[in-house]
Amino acid sequence: MNRFLTETNWRFIDQSLTMLTHSPLESFAMDDTLCHVTGHASSPPVIRTWVHQESVVLGIQDHRLPHIEEGMALLRARGYEPIVRNSGGLAVVLDPGVLNVSIVFSESEPTSIDQAFNYMVDLVKAIFPKVADQIEAYEIIGSYCPGTFDLSIGGKKFAGISQRRMQNGIAVQIYLCIEGSGSERASLIRDFYAVSLQGEKTKFTYPTVVPEVMASMQELTGEPMTVAEVNIRIQQLLLAWNSNTVLLPLQESELALYAHYLERIYKRNAVLLKG
């Protein structure tokens, strides 16, 4: 097991329930805040879990789609609220069956981009020990938001990882499709791109989404696991690795910083959505 994971004195922030009634923008502001406080050595490294209601998180390139307004209208008509995130990547689906996990730590010890990604890969394998040897990290063609560190079992993607660096901090974020149908989520994004492109050629190549290459962990393992159960597994892992792990939400001294990043990200999202 990765020594970084097992020997770090972790701060755990559980927002798997409290973020359900909030916009995903608040989670991105939260990770910016945690990058700041870990990067400035005023907080130990953090592992945070978070869940949101039905939303589609768009990337900057998605915002440049020729018929993006029609694409966002389709998402809203199907019950999903679109937002634009402050990091790279393309459209991903969030809903109560998707558990998001962030690992946030300081750049004080130089960490390559791939090494940071691999911390998350190792964490996911530890969360799912029964299938750890089946989990592979490589780009799944036909998935939404494809990338080198897509996580899959038997060629079917269940998770994607992104990374953000700011204020001397690093945030590695993953969405884990735990419950429900991975292909249904992928179908939504396929339809979003169809409506947003309408057959037009663009300089940027958007993914041709093939719903069959995506699945949830419920589907892949045949086990009735839930987001709540996996969230508990993470807490148990951290405590088993290091008894100094603390459950510590944002403190009063950090709230003003969070308010700053939240205001900034809401303003930015409003500008992008107005187009």
- Under a CB-based contact definition with an 8 Å cutoff, are residues 76 and 82 in contact? yes
User: What structural domains and CATH numbers belong to the chain?
Assistant: 3-274 (3.30.930.10)
Please give the order of strands across the beta sheet that includes 11-15.
Answer: 135-137, 151-153, 156-166, 169-177, 98-106, 46-50, 11-15, 246-247
Work out the end-to-end distance of the chain between its first and last CA atoms, rounded to an integer number of angstroms.
Answer: 46
Q: Which of 58, 90, 145, 186 is catalytic?
A: 145
The alpha carbon of 39 is separated from its chain's Cα centroid by a whole number of angstroms, namely: 20
Regions in the chain scoring below 50 on pLDDT = none
What pTM was estimated for this model as a whole? 0.96
What pLDDT was estimated at residue 87? 65
Q: Is 145 a catalytic residue?
A: yes
For 108, phi and psi rounded to 5 degrees?
-55, -35
Q: Which of 197, 219, 92 is nearest to 145 (CA)?
A: 92
